[in-house]
């Protein structure tokens, strides 16, 4: 099965739903009972930077994001960001 052709490498042309899970480093001295990452970086800045980075690659403009769910928590093994995007190509 061949993949669809997209101009300028942009995959989504219409509205998209995005979920981003940020797994941030856990300080070694932090007690295990602390579940939530309530320190910098701010969640809105993480989301903004990620959406801007995907502009021109996954979509034409981040204004196409109509539903956004973003969470940050401590990483189990190593820091990472998991991005899930749904929409019509």
- DSSP letters, 24-89, are EPPPTTS-TT--B--SSSPHHHHHHHHHHHHBTTTBS-GGGEEEEEEEEEE-SSS-EEEEEEEE--
For residue 5, is it within any domain? no
Domain tally for the chain?
A: 1
Its pTM surpasses 0.85: no
Domain interval for residue 72: 15-87
Q: For 24-33, write each residue's pLDDT tens digit.
A: 999 989 998 9
DSSP state of 15: -
Measured CA to CA, the distance from residue 17 to residue 15 in angstroms comes to 7
For residue 34, is it within any domain? yes
CATH of the domain at 58: 3.30.1330.70
Q: For 35-86, write each residue's pLDDT tens digit.
A: 889 999 999 999 999 999 999 999 999 999 999 999 999 987 789 999 999 9
For residue 59, is it within any domain? yes
Residue with tokens 């970086």: 41
Q: For 33-43, write each residue's pLDDT tens digit.
A: 998 899 999 99
Measured CA to CA, the distance from residue 54 to residue 32 in angstroms comes to 33
For residue 8, is it within any domain? no
């Amino acid at each position: 099965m061949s993949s669809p052709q997209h101009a300028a490498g942009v995959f989504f042309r219409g509205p998209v739903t995005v979920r981003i899970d940020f797994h941030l480093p856990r300080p070694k001295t932090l007690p295990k009972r602390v579940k939530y990452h309530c320190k910098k970086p701010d969640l809105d800045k993480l989301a903004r930077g990620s959406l801007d980075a995907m502009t021109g690659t996954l979509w034409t403009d981040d204004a196409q994001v109509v539903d956004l769910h973003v969470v940050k928590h401590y990483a189990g093994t190593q820091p990472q960001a998991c991005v899930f995007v749904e929409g019509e190509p």
